[in-house]
Structure 1
Amino acid sequence: MRLDLLLVRLRFAKSRSVAQHWIEEAHMRCNGERVTRADLPVATGDVLTLPIGYTVRVIAIESLPARRGPAAEARSHYRELDRNA
């Protein structure tokens, strides 16, 4: 699954265009590597580092969502590894 689509389905971004812009800023990491391409394939087991506001969220993908569902459903697809304030 594409990274931009995953961010939308996990409810980190409101739309794919917002996700693509966020990825192109190059502050995001996937498995420790800086990400600059929205079409980067993401799989189960990958670790994403996401700068959100003034915090950094590190999540591990446990399963790939089939749709953009409610927030509780979206949270069931990833596990929070660390949260820095």
Structure 2
Amino acid sequence: MAPENRQRIDKWLFFSRAVKSRSLAAKLVTAGRVRINRDKAAQASDLVKPGDVLTITLDRTIHVWKVVGTGTRRGPAEEARRLYEDLSPPPVPKEEAVASAIAPLREAGSGRPTKKERRQTDRLFGKD
């Protein structure tokens, strides 16, 4: 049996409210979306202890959590937040995210040729 200060990763993810069920936590781990101290968690039975740093990929976001303690039950959110310390980088402000998502403008004629321009090039080289 594992010592008291260690806990299965799927149980810990469930108790910390990272996922809604232990089966979803197990699927998350086996899909390779959880790292324990930079190493991929191979199985749902891998153990975590206080001091471990978890990198969890959930819905296009990356959470970096330091394990502070192990849980005994899935309690309220306040109790779950005491199980970890959030080390995630702050989210990008919306203004910067939108600005980087817009394609840069380019001058007319600097892109791919139009169909009309391709026909003119074909005529020029005699490829009718």
Shorter-chain TM-score bucket reads over 0.9
1:8 Cα deviation from its structure 2 partner: 0.4
Tell me the residue number matched to 2:82: 76
Radius of gyration: which is bigger? 2
Q: Within 5 A, what are the aligned runs for 1:1-85? A: 1-83=7-89, 85=91
- Looking at structure 2, the residues matched to 30 and 54 of structure 1 have their Cα atoms a distance apart, in angstroms, of 19
Question: How many equivalent pairs are there?
Answer: 85
Uncovered stretches (5+) of structure 2, i.e. residues with no partner = 1-6, 92-128
Uncovered stretches (5+) of structure 1, i.e. residues with no partner = none
- In terms of fraction of residues, the more strand-rich structure is 1
Aligned amino acid, residue 89 of structure 2: R
Tell me the residue number matched to 2:120: none
- Tell me the secondary structure at the aligned position of residue 88 of structure 2: strand
Which portions of structure 1, spanning 4 or more consecutive aligned residues, are displaced by more than 3 angstroms?
A: none
- Looking at structure 1, the residues matched to 28 and 90 of structure 2 have their Cα atoms a distance apart, in angstroms, of 19
1:84 Cα deviation from its structure 2 partner: 5.8
- Looking at structure 1, the residues matched to 90 and 30 of structure 2 have their Cα atoms a distance apart, in angstroms, of 23
- Looking at structure 1, the residues matched to 27 and 63 of structure 2 have their Cα atoms a distance apart, in angstroms, of 18
Question: Normalized against structure 2, the TM-score is what?
Answer: 0.63
Aligned amino acid, residue 48 of structure 1: L
CA RMSD in angstroms comes to 1.1
Question: Normalized against structure 1, the TM-score is what?
Answer: 0.93
- Looking at structure 2, the residues matched to 50 and 83 of structure 1 have their Cα atoms a distance apart, in angstroms, of 13
